[in-house]
Structure 1
Amino acid sequence: MKDKNQWIEVVAFALPLLIASSLFFSCKQDKLVNDWTRMNLSGYVMTIKEHSFKAIDTLGEIVQGERMSPSWRRDSYIVFNRAGNKVEENFYRNDGKMWSKSVFSYDKNRKK
C-alpha cells in the first residue's frame, strides 16, 4: 500500500509539471530577427531619415537651428526591404554631402 501512495505522489507532482512545460514550449514562438526588430521599430518601415540640428530655446519653445552633428554621429538615411532588413545605409556630413554608402544583399535564407 505504501508503494502505491508513493507512486500517486510522484504522478501528482510530475503530471502538472509535464503539462505546464509542454504548454510553455508549444506556445513559444520564434521571434523574427531582422533589422526592424534590432532597431526596435514596429510596423512596416521602408525608410528612416535622420538629421541632426542645433536646438534653440526661444522663450520655452524649442526650435530647429542650423544643421550640425558631433563628429561621432552623422546624419543618415536607411532603406529597408519588405523582409525588414537594411538594403542601403547612407551617412552624410553636416554640409549634406554623402560621407559613406553601404549596400546590403541577402541570400534566400535572408542572411547577409
Structure 2
Amino acid sequence: MSDQPTLIDWTKVQDLCEDVGRDGFDEVVELFLEEVETALQTIGMAEDLEAALHFVKGCALNIGFDHFTDLAAQGERLAARGLPDQVDLVALDHAYRITRDLFLSEVRDRIAA
C-alpha cells in the first residue's frame, strides 16, 4: 500500500466527460484551469480565505483533482477555525501544478473512446 496520495480520480473524470460530452468536457477543463489558476494567483490576498479555498475545493472536486481537493479542504477548515496563517498556500499551489500537469499529460489517453 502506498503512502502517496491519489492525485486524480480518473473515474470521476470519465464520468464528467460522459455527462457533458466531449466538446463540453473540453470547455469545462479550460474553464476550470483558468478559474483555479486565477484564484491561486490571488488567494494569498483574499479577504475571505475560507471562501476562496471553498471555491477552489469545489472546482477541484468536480474535475477529480483528489489530492488538491483534500488540501483545499484542510485549508478551508483551518481558515474557518480562525487559523489562516496555518494554511500552506505554497503546498496547495504545488499540488495543483503537479496534478494539472499529470492531468494534461494523461487525459486524452484516459478518456479516449
Q: What TM-score, normalized by structure 2, do the two folds share? A: 0.24
Q: Find the structure with the greater CA-based Rg.
A: 1
Q: What TM-score, normalized by structure 1, do the two folds share? A: 0.24
Report the structure, 1 or 2, having the larger helix content.
2
